[in-house]
Amino acid sequence: MRHQRTGKKLGRDAAHRKALYANLAGALIEHGRIRTTVTKAKAVKPLAEQMITLGRRGDLHARRQATAVLRSRDVVHKLFAEVAPRFKERPGGYARIVRIGPRAGDAAEMAYLELVDEEYVAAQREERATAAPAVVEETADEPVDELEEDEAEDEAEAEDDEGEAEDAEPAAEADPEPEAEPAAEESAEDEKS
Q: Are 95 and 113 in contact (CB under 8 A)?
A: yes
**From residue 17, how far is each of 10, 44, 68, 105 by CA, in Å?**
7, 10, 15, 23
Considering the chain, what percentage of its residues have pLDDT values greater than 90? 56
* Mean pLDDT, the chain, whole residue set: 80
The mean pLDDT of 24-35, rounded to a whole number, is 95
pTM score: 0.62
User: Is the pLDDT assigned to residue 8 strictly greater than 70?
Assistant: yes
* Angle in degrees, 0-180, between the axes of helices 38-57 and 14-31, rounded to the nearest 10: 70
Q: What is the pLDDT of residue 7?
A: 83
Q: What is the pLDDT of residues 54-99, one digit of tens each?
A: 999 999 999 999 999 999 999 999 999 999 999 999 999 999 999 9
Domain spanning 14-116: CATH superfamily: Ribosomal protein L17 (3.90.1030.10)
* Bridge partners of residue 110, in order along the sequence: 37, 101
User: Is the pLDDT assigned to residue 144 strictly greater than 90?
Assistant: no
User: Is the pLDDT assigned to residue 191 strictly greater than 60?
Assistant: no
Q: What is the pLDDT of residue 151?
A: 58
